Amino acid sequence: MLTNQNIILAISGGIAAYKCAELTRRLKEHGANVRVVMTHAAKAFITPLTMQAVSANPVCDDLLDPAAEAAMGHIELAKWADLILVAPATADVIARINAGIANDLLTTVILASAAPLALSPAMNQQMYRAQATQDNIANLTKRGVKIWGPAQGEQACGDVGPGRMLEPMALVELAKQHFAAADALGKGVLDGITLTITAGPTREALDPVRFISNHSSGKMGYAIAAAAVDAGATVNLISGKVTIQPPQKALVTAVDSALEMHAAALSLAPKSDIFIACAAVADYRPIDVADQKIKKSADTMTITMTKNPDIVADVAALTEDRPYTVGFAAETQNVEKYAKGKMQRKKLDMICANDVSKGGQGFNADTNALSVFWQGGSEILPLTDKKQLGKALIALIMSQFKRV
């Protein structure tokens, strides 16, 4: 997927810059053309001569280089790129990119380029967790910038936590997925396909003002729906209450409860080619729903609940007009074991599992990672922003759907 793709590797000043020689070698090994841009701080960690040797191209490191800028070198670079990958992306460079600052060659090339931009954060765990950094990352994600990582673990300073730059091969895989999704999900690729997806939480009423729900934001389901819409599919989006805007052209059915979502799903699934159950559906609902607001009286309260119908299992059990059925499993342990068990038990064609015990993925996060399983195969979709992950997942689903 990387053959003849033009990738700018933009290296900023972090200790993880030492990984960039291996990263460049691996990108080229997979067929990419790589040109390296370095900040002055990056040269304190790895030399331009090293990067020139592994990339087989001169390294660009100075916005005010008279020889390069005689031909407007930063504009030429910006137009050459099919992808700009900033690795490591320090807190400083993330902040400058977010602010639109162009005070060195790296940030100027980014601002001057229409190419997709991916950042691989690398910094101390507290710097990564700082609200300013999180705000910058969230803002960039909203603009469509891909955030690849970070990983968790021991850091050079001795701290343990999120902030490690992803390993070179993980970044290579994400680059491959980026170009694969772009190829597989071009405009019109899903023309004639009808896809129904559930997204967001359900609300199970206790009384007119209270309900039982969960932390689902709907971001993952909406990202998958957006990817399918962009590729030309007719998309039915069955959504619980969320605070985000649905993709344009998606046909939205708004629901509150699991029973409402179940009815909508069983109505639309037989008219669909693919059904994706991404919603976080309540397993149980209260048996008795009060007509009036329940007043606070006793020190304790007992609520008797009954099981809700299993939406994805009922869709998978359809005997006529059954769609290709994809489930989701949010797990906190033994992810593969529980996901495969759910897939077999409910007779699904595919299941997408994520470990919601890990930081930066799952409910409310802008990033996610999925372990995807189907009969006879599996694939890991590494941590990235949900928009990019949605595209990669739709491409993967289509690769299997076409074989059925």
pLDDT of residue 362 exceeding 90 = no
Q: Which of 62-76, 268-282, 330-344 has the highest mean pLDDT?
A: 268-282
Q: What is the mean pLDDT of residues 258-277?
A: 98
Whole-model pTM: value is 0.64
Same fold, 6-183 and 187-401: yes
Identify the CATH number of the domain defined by range 6-183.
3.40.50.1950
Question: For 333-361, b where at least 16 C-beta lie within 10 A, e where not — what string?
Answer: eebeebbbebbeebebbbbbbbbbebebb
Q: What is the pLDDT of residues 10-55, one digit of tens each?
A: 999 999 999 999 999 999 999 999 999 999 999 999 999 999 999 9
Q: Would you report the helix, strand and coil content of the chain in percent, each value rounded to 5?
A: 35, 25, 40
Cβ pair 9, 60 in contact under 8 A = no
Give residue-wise pLDDT tens across range 61-103. 887 666 555 444 568 888 888 899 999 999 999 999 999 999 9
pLDDT reported for residue 70: 44
Q: What is the pLDDT of residue 193?
A: 94
Residue 154 CA to residue 202 CA, distance in Å, equals: 38
> What's the confidence (pLDDT) of residue 73?
59
| Domain range 187-401, CATH architecture | 3-Layer(aba) Sandwich (3.40)
Find tokens 């994600």 and name the residue. 141
Judge contact between 247 and 222, C-beta under 8 A.
yes
Q: Taking all residues of the chain, what is their mean pLDDT, rounded to a whole number? A: 90
Domain boundaries, the chain: 6-183, 187-401
- Beta strand residue intervals within 230-341, DSSP E: 234-239, 251-254, 274-277, 284-286, 305-307, 324-331
pLDDT of residue 360: 66
What mean pLDDT do residues 366-387 have? 86
The catalytic residue positions are 157
For the CA atoms of 244, 245, 250, 252, the dihedral, rounded to the nearest 10 degrees, stands at 70
Give the SS3 label for residue 349. coil
